[in-house]
Amino acid sequence: MNTEGHDEATWRIQHRGFNDGTDAQVVLAGVSTEPISIEHLEDLVADDSAGAIVTFNGRVRNHDDGNGVTAIDYEAHPDADSVVQRIAEEVAHASGACKIAIQHRSGHLEIGDIALGAAVSASHRAEAFNLLEKAVEQVKLQLPVWKRQEFSDGSHEWTGSA
């Protein structure tokens, strides 16, 4: 028995997927001034061989470190598009997933707007979740964007993300 209370045969059936080492196809990667549609990203990664599609919807929230946030302005370095493309290709390599689409916004965003959207398809959920997490983390770490948060008290703050 494993920790979930299933016998070994049941566990193997439910977890029979494995990473075959193939590269996921990068169908979209970049920075956009246009609103991001999670539905569009999901449509882009749809694949008949995919048993799983997972998405990430990173939205502008109304607070940060105890301060009320009213909006965010993102300014992207001219190389930001190529950075997202490079990250997508790197994390897609040998991921065992089918397809990946990832996009970051630049410009003015209001509360609830999507700042970072991503979708990944794979034959099995493990590869989809793994690739999605790696892609989002690397974009958050490496993307050369700066954000100006506008606070509810009228002040603002600039921060760099890379």
- Per the confidence metrics, is the pTM higher than 0.75? yes
Stretch 53-58: mean pLDDT, rounded?
98
pLDDT reported for residue 17? 61
Q: Strand ranges (DSSP E) for the chain?
A: 25-32, 52-59, 63-64, 67-76, 97-105, 107-110, 114-122, 145-151, 156-160
**What confidence tens digit (pLDDT) does each residue in 14-39 have?**
555 678 899 999 999 999 999 999 99
H helical segments located in the chain: 8-14, 38-45, 80-92, 125-142
pLDDT reported for residue 161? 58
d(CA 72, CA 61): 9
H helical segments located in 32-121: 38-45, 80-92
Q: Specify the length of the chain in residues.
A: 162
85 has a pLDDT exceeding 90: yes
pLDDT reported for residue 1? 42
Domain boundaries, the chain: 20-160
13 has a pLDDT exceeding 60: no
With beta carbons less than 8 A apart as the criterion, state whether 121 and 52 touch: yes
With beta carbons less than 8 A apart as the criterion, state whether 159 and 147 touch: yes
Q: Which residue type is seen at 159?
A: T
**What confidence tens digit (pLDDT) does each residue in 147-160 have?**
999 999 999 999 98
Fold exhibited by the domain 20-160: Aldehyde Oxidoreductase; domain 3 (3.90.1170)
Percent of the chain with pLDDT over 90: 85
d(CA 53, CA 120): 6
Region of 37 on the Ramachandran plot (φ > 0 left; ψ -120 to 50 alpha; else beta): beta
139 has a pLDDT exceeding 60: yes
